[in-house]
Structure 1
Amino acid sequence: MKQRYVAELNEDLHGLVDALTSLGVTVHRPTDVDPATVEVRTPAWSASVVPPLNIRDNTLIAGNEIIETSPMIRSRFFETQLLKPVFQEYFRRGARWSTMPRPLMTDASFDLSYARASTAGGPMEPIEDPRASCYDVGHEMLFDAAQCLRLGRDIVANIATRNHALGVDWLERHLEGRFRIHRVHRLSDSHIDSMVLALRPGTLLCRSEAVVDLLPERLRKWDVIVPPAPEAQGFPRYEDDDLILTSPYIDLNVLSVSPEVVLVNEACPELMRTLERHGFTVVPVRHRHRRLFGGGFHCFTLDTVREGGPEDYLG
């Protein structure tokens, strides 16, 4: 990864912070990774360290509760540790704080059937030749928060593997009586926030009409915005395409700051015009290397406090 791309990513992140601050949003930043910390190690394996960039992936906010989900990639095993100062302060102020069981993450932990049967990429540990381990317990719950669409008292959860199903089992039991969990199957390989997003109550942004058919019945009655297909000229070109982590649909990964205001990549004029025609105020923000770093504005942010209460949209 060229240092120039990293420097430009940091410039764009500062621009995102400035845009949010200008809209009255309080912005917290995760702790930086110490440069001396280059490896994650457990009794079963070791991996390199990923910085806390796509912070929505491993934490689910459910009402007044912070839930650290069960990571699917070894290099992200301790990523939520870098959010601890923020979570600790919320806990002092009365928030609940829970953690899904931490997986052993041996080769046998991963249900590789979806990755082997699909051409889709996604956040799956690349295991070409699974090896037995004395720590094996079979398939474990491995479930990212970015597999969820939160709608007031309802959570839509995407399941593509047995790992995901176990994670949703835990989530249902843990949140029973407080939230309703709606299972959708193979909406994507894992994360769904470049497939479907709720822009405001009653309006969804979907990659295609086919996505709508996989949603819970009540959601199919919402207004659906299907944006124009992404165009190749909207993305930087790289010498090594192997670095690219996401599909061209990554720019659907917008962030709704309020029911009226949406942050959109400034490189997407057609998407901005589409949203404006539907009555949204669009705030353009620069994000150049989203396909290299695997996330958009929704991935990069974790909204912890919103105005209003837990509405019942699907009851």
Structure 2
Amino acid sequence: MISVILRNSLQKIFNRRCIRLVHQNHEPIEVKEAKDSCPVSSHNEWDPLEEVIVGRPEGACVPTFSIEVKANTNQKYWGFYETNGGEPFPQEHVKQAIAEVEEFCNILRHEGVVVRRPDILDWSEEYETPDFKANGLYAAMPRDILIVVGNEIIEAPMAWRSRFFEYRAYRSIIKDYFRKGAKWTTAPKPEMKDELYDKSYPIKSVEDRRVLAEQGKFVTTEFEPCFDAADFMRAGKDIFVQRSQVTNRMGIEWMRRHLGSEYKIHEISFNDPNPMHIDGTFNIIGPGLVISNPDRPCHQIDMFKKAGWKVVTAADPVMPDSHPLWMSSKWLSMNVLMLDEKRVLCDTNEIPTIKMFESLGIKPITVNLRYANSLGGGFHCWTTDVRRRGTLESYF
């Protein structure tokens, strides 16, 4: 009887823990048995956050002023790109951004979140493929290149040539997750030939771009799949995406086929002359709760209202015109990171946004991210949430 009890106890321990295997070279390998032991698991933007990747400003370089960069940047900064393309961003500004992001990481850790960081690489080095030459950009915005769906990390086939090798900064982290049981998928790497870009795309007139966007015409063509992960927004089994200057319909269709019938991909659009990344326009912050940019209204907003969702108009940003925003807009004020349904990370300076969250019964945890904003992103952009405590649900 004692031996039977002992055997059953050992079997339970065996089933709960990792099995230690030994190769012929006697090197131990851990194989995860329990499905809930995977370190990667995230289904939406608001479940309790447990682990996150935070980007790095170190070594950030101004991208070469090519057609896809020109189509996605504010005309007031074109001279900056023409003069500084291929060179580091202003170093004093980057130094301030580094300090801000370090404090951001410290606050995340204080709130009980595990923080992972990409490798520091030299982004100034020029590289060449058979189809183009470019220098790198940075590893500041993991949200652009990585999306987690369930226990799978997907690397996005981004559209900017300056971001072709950006994945290299994240590979050590992703390989670690893979060894611990996560799924890992890299979408088809685009060739980025000239055919991917509409060289005749009219980029001087905002109104022309607005008309073209409503017609579904952008600087990226349908030559091959491309998308930035930041054009997708997750709400359990429903995932929302916009066709943008960096995400084409082939990219959206690739994601739809890849994820299969368990998920529904909804393509939505906005009154936006220059769409690029959805979370400064439409940010889902809870089950059936979304912040909407009043300057870029959603054409399909009735679809959400009919489903019983609460649509909150974003508070006006207070970013001063004097502050440089080389790769973004003032609406990074709504680009926030939910720690859970009742806690949000937002910018210390954005008092109207802070009050908006308080009115919703959500506690703001504030951090100054102004210099980091200049490099192109807010809290959501600077992160990829790796693990949130929750299950796959339907909210739509």
User: Match of 1:6, as an amino acid?
Assistant: V
- Structure with greater contact order relative to length (CA < 8 Å, sep ≥ 6): 2
Q: Distance in 1 between matches of 2:105 and 2:248?
A: 32
Identity of aligned residues (%): 30
The 3 A distance-change label for structure 1 pair 19 and 72 is same
Alpha carbons 1:113, 1:161 under 8 Å: kept = no
Match of 2:312 in 1: 225
Q: How many residue pairs were aligned?
A: 294
1:278 to 360, 379, 391: 360
Which 5+ residue runs of structure 2 have no aligned equivalent? 1-88, 210-218
Could you tell which deviates more after superposition, 288-297 or 261-270?
288-297
Equivalent runs, 1:1-315 vs 2, <5 Å: 1-34=89-122, 38-111=125-198, 116=203, 119=206, 139-160=223-244, 164-186=248-270, 188=272, 189-208=275-294, 211-215=297-301, 217-218=303-304, 221-231=308-318, 234-235=319-320, 237=322, 244-314=326-396
Q: Is the 8 A contact 1:205 1:224 kept in 2?
A: yes
CA distance in 2, matches of 1:60, 1:113: 32
- Counterpart CA distance in 2 for 1:161 and 1:2 is 26
Q: Deviations over 1:275-302 (max 9, x none)?
A: 1011001001011224420100100000
Deviation by residue 1:257-283 (Cα, 9 ceiling, x = unmatched): 111100001010111011101100100
Instruction: Tell me the CA shift for residue 99 of structure 1.
Output: 1.1
TM-score of the pair, normalised by structure 1: 0.85
How much has 1:154 moved relative to structure 2? 1.2
Q: 1:272 to 1:39 in 2, by over 3 A?
A: same
Is the CA contact (8 Å cut-off) linking 2:146 and 2:155 kept in structure 1? yes
Supply the RMSD in Å over aligned alpha carbons. Answer: 2.6
Distance apart, 1:215 and its partner CA: 4.2
Contact 1:250 1:290 (8 Å CA) reproduced: no
For residue 81 of structure 1, report the CA deviation from its aligned partner: 1.6
Deviation at 1:86, TM superposition (A): 1.3
In the alignment, the residues of structure 1 paired with residue 139 and residue 320 of structure 2 have an alpha-carbon distance, to the nearest angstrom, of 24
* CA–CA distance in structure 2, aligned partners of residues 193 and 107 of structure 1: 29
Pair member with larger Rg: 2
**Residues 28 and 187 (structure 1), Cα distance of their counterparts in 2 relative to 1, 3 Å cut:** farther
Name the CA distance, whole Å, in 1 between partners of 2:238 and 2:199. Answer: 29
Q: CA deviation at 1:244?
A: 2.3
Per-residue Cα deviation, 1:221-246 (whole angstroms, up to 9, x for no partner): 31122132223xx33725xx6x6222
> Could you list the runs of 5+ residues in structure 1 that have no partner in the other structure?
122-129, 131-136
